[in-house]
Structure 1
Amino acid sequence: MAQHDTTPKTVFRITELSPHRPLGFNLRPDNATMERIRVHLDLIALRKLSFTGELHSEGKHDWRLDARLGATVVQPCVVSLDPVTTRLDEDVSRLFVADMPQTPESDEIEMPEDESVEPLRDTIDLEAVMIEALTLALPDYPRRNEAELEQRTFTPPGAEPIKDEETKPFAGLAGLKQKLERDE
């Protein structure tokens, strides 16, 4: 019995795309792909991942991708490490440009004004764009609403605890200024 590959195609050669007809796509990764992405992004869980949109020609040589990313992610809280569930719904837009301006060969590279512009290669990988968009949409510091840092004081016996104001760099300058003003 022949086995058929039911995995949707996610990598398209530019030469395969019709400049006159947009390519619609609806990516909903299978469980194995979701697990691979979850591990790659160090998530506790990844559910309901979808990437739906259209890829169409823009001018003679460029291609535009307009899509919608949807996902439910579970990350550890930055305070308590308890699971934090976040629903992501993001619009994604990329412009793949054939004649991308060359960047100078130096250590410093200026950021382009439009961050959605990318160089056009021989292929466009929709799964890679989906994973990049998911990575960028993840909360940097997921935190449960009720999570709070505990305040603890560690001082040797007989010593005064240090106050928060005393640890700030300008707190000492304010005290010095007041002392100098009194001495005048």
Structure 2
Amino acid sequence: MMTELTFTRSFDVSHLGKSGAKQHLVANDTERAALKKDFDLLSLENLTADLDIAPWGQKGVKVEGRILADVVQPCVLTLQPVPSRIDHRFSLSFLPADAIAADPKTVAEAEVIVVYDEEDPPEPLEGNSIDFGPILAEQLALALDPYPRAPGATLEETVEEGAENPASPFAALSKLRDK
């Protein structure tokens, strides 16, 4: 869990213009070490991002990005190092908070409708700048394999179909029922 913000990259959107801007961001050694610790990685050799930042609608900003990173995670079964190359694309939109609040509500105020195949709603844009550091850290976390497995790593104990698992708490309960 992230304890303090060590990876920051502010971008002033007030001077964006109609053509937009491109940013190439590279995390330095200190920032990578903090991210490595925050995400329990064995290694984070590089972290770069290419961003296309463009105006979106009247007041918004659209960010199309790509993160590249070389990470080593511990195997969930053996704790052996599992290296992987991350190549993750993402898209985010930002609107000033007052513009988000002005959007018409579709159903009762308390009800939330989740539609999985639609884009995420815009993030609030606070002031005239966007800090891409926490955004890239979040996107890295989303791109990490939640259950990295070393090649050939398997669970030692297998249960045959129809056989009773002696380690199961229900096996002990079924013995009590049979008495």
1:89 aligns with 2:95: no
Question: What per-residue deviation string (whole Å, max 9, x for no partner) do you get for residues 49-96 of structure 1?
Answer: 101122111122010111110001111101111110111101121111
Find the partner of 1:23 among 17, 21, 24: 21
Shift of 1:165: 2.9
Q: 2:63 aligns with which of 65, 71, 78?
A: 65
- Paired position in structure 2 for 1:12: 11
- Structure 1 residue runs of 5 or longer lacking an equivalent are 1-8, 153-161, 173-184
Q: Tell me the matched-pair count.
A: 151
1:140 pairs with 2:119: no
- For structure 2, the residue ranges without an aligned partner over 5 or more in a row are 1-7, 166-170, 172-179
Alignment RMSD, CA only? Answer: 2.9
CA distance in 2, matches of 1:89, 1:22: 23
The CA deviation at 1:116 is 6.4
Structure 1: which amino acid aligns with 2:162? E
Identity across matched positions, percent: 27
How big is the shift at 1:126?
1.1
Secondary structure of the residue aligned to 1:165 is coil
Are the counterparts in 2 of residues 93 and 116 from structure 1 also a CA contact under 8 Å? no
Structure 1 pair 109–45 and aligned structure 2 pair: CA distance change class (3 A): farther
SS at match of 2:162: helix
Report the equivalent of 2:122.
117
Relative contact order higher in (CA < 8 Å, ≥ 6 apart): 2
Cα displacement string for residues 1-38 of structure 1 (whole angstroms, at most 9, x for unaligned residues) = xxxxxxxx8212443x3232422111111101110111
**CA offset at residue 105 of structure 1?**
7.1
> In 1, are the aligned partners of 2:41 and 2:72 still within 8 Å (CA)?
yes
Contact map agreement 1:68 1:92 (CA 8 A) in 2: yes
- Normalised by the length of structure 1, the TM-score is 0.70
Task: Assess if the C-alpha contact under 8 Å between 2:32 and 2:46 holds in 1.
Answer: no
Q: Distance in 2 between matches of 1:53 and 1:116?
A: 19
**Which of residues 150, 156, 176 is equivalent to 2:156?**
150
State the TM-score, normalizing by the size of structure 2.
0.72
